[in-house]
Structure 1
Amino acid sequence: MKNENLGIRAVCFGEVLWDNLPTGRKLGGAPLNVAYHLNKLGVFTEILSRMGSDDAGRDLRDLCVELGVPTTLLQWDEAHATSTVEVHIDEKRDVTYEIVFPVAWDFIEADEREISAVEQADFFVFGSLSTRHTPSYASLQRLLGVAQYKVLDINLRAPFYTKERILDLIAAADLVKMNAEELAFVSEWMELPSSLTDREKVAMLMQRYAVPEVLVTYGADGAVYHAQAGGFSYHFPAWKVEVQDTIGSGDSFLAAFLSLRCQQEREVSPEEILAFAATLSGFVTQSNGACPVYDASTINRFQWLNFLGKIG
């Protein structure tokens, strides 16, 4: 890993919030987590979202600035509060969420400034949760019409999704990222036979909705990258680490994946892309919260120590 400007631009669309954890308040929201890691990895990434004009919103913006996340596209809302989420972590370190509705990011606007930023971005990341309310969903539809490379991060948080809306988002995407449980839901909505393997399910999804790339994460079992070009499915195992919490591990995986997948100066192999994504995800999983502090030397040391552990 190198902390350098890669000459790539991105925009992440969706929720920004405070996660109320047992250990205290932490910055959160999948699109914001992805934006944080992309900026750490040298991809200039703006977060497009909306906060309440309240103390929580001002604190959120200030922390984004401190963490190096550009705030140009953060919007203020006089009528709705900044989002908060109650986070519960069980004895197995699995996480559940209580998400307030409605909040400021349910009313994200897409005017000339936002459209221009997305037009100029090399890729556009959007999460499914932020489409739960019509105003933000309508803004997303406008932005998808101008985006160059569209990355859908599926986050199914009951009751804030519908089958129809998720399938419409899949059809609009160039890359879909989901976990194994979300793939099971999508396959059921598509009325696919339960006897199919995950690889067969993904192949049918890619064919039916003309999706060029799909990324499926399996937690401790790693991830599989499916690409229509070349017709391959590539599996990479996860690092074996001591889990602190799983908050943001999938977000960091996606950010690391995109930072190499969208390289412009050199071609990067799927193995190198997934190895780096697994490394950053493993580091976040053994850290507290979704946005731990790190630099290139931190990740290089983590990767080297885990490599030595595998061969020792």
Structure 2
Amino acid sequence: MTADRITPGPVVFGEVLFDCFPDRRVLGGAPFNVAWNLHGLGQAPLFVGAVGDDDNGAEVRRTVSAWGMDMSGLQQDPLHPTGTVQVRIENDEPSYEIVPDQAYDHIAREPALKAVAGREQAILYHGSLALRHHQSRHTLLALREHLRARVFLDVNLRAPWWDVESVHALMHGATWVKLNEQELDALVKDDGEGLESKARHCLERFGLQALIVTRAAEGALVVSREGRVLSRSAPPVDGLVDTVGAGDAFSAVTLMGLMHGWDWEEILDRAAGFAAKVCTLRGATSQEKGFYRW
């Protein structure tokens, strides 16, 4: 699936890192995966993040350059290492240690503002993990103010790097928010309400245009400002390998749909279909350009 490119493409802000398994390293980070997929889909994103002045950072730059992505927003931090997440497998279940004080925690304001020049009408996408440190948070807030952009917030709660108040603050001023069902439960007080009622409450409280709730194998639900509630079941996956990156794939196509003015039925259908396709990969992204033509 490709579409005519819209200029300017979205600004994608946040972490790029390596997931370090016992037997391999995998390049990722939710915002980076979203930007990678958007580029594969022909949408000319600008990724704004940071790597260290180290071997991992050099590898990120080589990989991004080979993929043809715009690297003008990728900063090099001489004081902090390229991000890593240590993944351990115990009883066939992974556990994660998100290492603190990484380069993506220190995305600098002035280079970021310089990089986004000319993209004042772009959608601004960001998550929540990279905002755990004040420097990246202040840079993100400066971008929000400078761009006066429509904001797509992709909530990703990772203990212990979040609290309700800080996430609620990010939701204020967002245009669209995407989160999963467990994250909605964590962020909205449970008064015995059902999923749809919680979603409506969240939409109204934060003045959103739409709230998107992903539900793993049960698909996704969207509540819009116009009062519409739409749901989409997850399509079957032929050749399932793993579900790593499915949510990031869903976000990328949702952004693409918002850029192109698709209605929510089309967005849900295409986003769920692409997420299912990513589940046939080992990992979150592909370096095969043909994978993105469907």
TM-score normalised by structure 1 residue count: 0.87
Q: Which residue of 2 aligns with 1:71?
A: 71
CA distance in 1, matches of 2:262, 2:91: 39
Alignment of 1:289-308 (within 5 A): 289-295=283-289, 300=294
What's the offset of the Cα at 1:268?
Answer: 2.2
Counterpart AA for 1:102: D
Name the counterpart of 1:56. 56
Structure 1 residue ranges without an equivalent (≥5):
301-312
State the secondary structure of the residue aligned to 1:2.
Answer: coil
Query: Structure 2: any 5+ residue segments left out of the alignment?
Result: none
Percent of matched pairs sharing the same residue: 32
- Following superposition, the deviation at residue 81 of structure 1 comes to 0.6
Aligned residue for 2:236?
240
Which residue does the alignment assign to 1:81?
Answer: 81
Secondary structure at the residue paired with 1:253?
A: helix
- Deviation per CA, 1:65-110: give whole Å up to 9, x if none: 1223221111111111111112346778x75421110111111112
| 1:95–1:13 Cα change, 3 Å | farther
Where 1:238 maps in the other structure, the secondary structure is: coil
- The equivalent residue for 2:281 is 287
1:116 Cα shift? 6.0
Evaluate the alpha carbon distance shift between residue 58 and residue 216 of structure 1 in structure 2; reply closer, same or farther with a 3 A threshold: same
2:243 counterpart SS class: coil
Which residue of the partner structure matches residue 184 of structure 2?
183
Question: Which of 217, 220, 239 in structure 2 is aligned with 1:220?
Answer: 217
- What is aligned with 2:151? 150
Deviations 1:281-309 (A, max 9, x none): 00111211111234467653xxxxxxxxx
Structure 2 CA distance for partners of 1:22 and 1:140, relative to 1, 3 Å: same
For 1:297 and 1:125, how far apart are their aligned partners in 2?
23
- Residue type matched to 2:215 in 1? Y
Moved more, 246-255 or 5-14: 5-14
- Aligned partners of 2:181 and 2:214 also within 8 Å: yes
Q: Does 1:209 align with 2:210?
A: no
Query: Residue 122 of structure 2 corresponds to which residue in structure 1?
Result: 122
Q: Structure 1 residues 227, 98: CA separation in 2 closer, same or farther (over 3 Å shift)?
A: same
Find the aligned partners of 1:291 and 1:175 in 2 and give their Cα distance. Answer: 24
Deviations 1:110-138 (A, max 9, x none): 21652561752520101100110111111
Q: Distance in 2 between matches of 1:39 and 1:114?
A: 21
Asked whether the 8 Å contact 1:280–1:299 carries over to 2, the reply is: no
Closer/same/farther in 2, CA of residues 80 and 255 from structure 1, 3 Å limit: same
Asked whether the equivalents of residues 95 and 247 of structure 1 are also in contact (C-alpha less than 8 Å), the reply is no
Q: CA deviation at 1:210?
A: 1.0
The residue type equivalent to 1:207 in the other structure is: E
2:83 maps to amino acid: S
Q: Does 2:44 align with 1:41?
A: no
The alpha carbon displacement at 1:13 in A equals: 0.6
Distance in 1, matches of 2:213 and 2:277, equals 19
Aligned counterparts of 2:253 and 2:56: Cα–Cα separation in 1: 29
Aligned residues: 291
Q: How far apart, CA to CA, are the structure 2 residues paired with 1:209 and 1:220? A: 27
Shift of the 142–135 alpha-carbon distance from structure 1 to 2, 3 Å rule, reads: same
Q: Tell me the residue number matched to 1:100.
A: 99
